[in-house]
Amino acid sequence: MSPSQEPVYPEYETDSSQTSKLIRKFKETPFVPIGMAGFAAVVGYGLYKLKHRGDMKMSLHLIHMRVAAQGFVVGAITCGVLYSMFRDYVVKPKE
């Protein structure tokens, strides 16, 4: 590619730092970081409760932790899809 050609995606070329790219991506899809944070919180809480699980079997505790983390992520994805559909079709109807 010669330097005289224009970039294929000029909006991606204008962002100079990784932080600005990350902030722009979070503004476009706000439920992705919410899902990631929820997943991390559920796993952290599950690891904390691992110490105080009492007589519950380890495998049962891990299954409950996995289901809770997956449920939070699926819920965040569902909310993100509903939010983007609302934004695209209700707030800004296409002509």
Angle subtended at Cα 24 by Cα 22 and Cα 26, rounded to the nearest 5 degrees: 70
Instruction: Please report whether residue 25 resides in a domain.
Output: no
Mean pLDDT, rounded, for 13-39: 79
- For residue 14, tell me if it sits in a domain: no
Domain contains 77: yes
| Domains in the chain, number | 1
Q: Tokens for 48?
A: 């904390």
pLDDT surpasses 60 at 2: no
| Domain contains 87 | yes
Residue 81 lies in a domain: yes
**What secondary structure letter does DSSP report for 3?**
T
Task: Check whether 12 has a pLDDT greater than 70.
Answer: no
Domain hosting residue 76, numbered range: 65-94
Mean pLDDT for the chain overall:
81
pTM over 0.75: no
Q: Is 76 inside any structural domain?
A: yes
SS3 of 34-92: the string is HHHHHHHHHHHHHHHHHHCCCCCCHHHHHHHHHHHHHHHHHHHHHHHHHHHHHHHHHHC
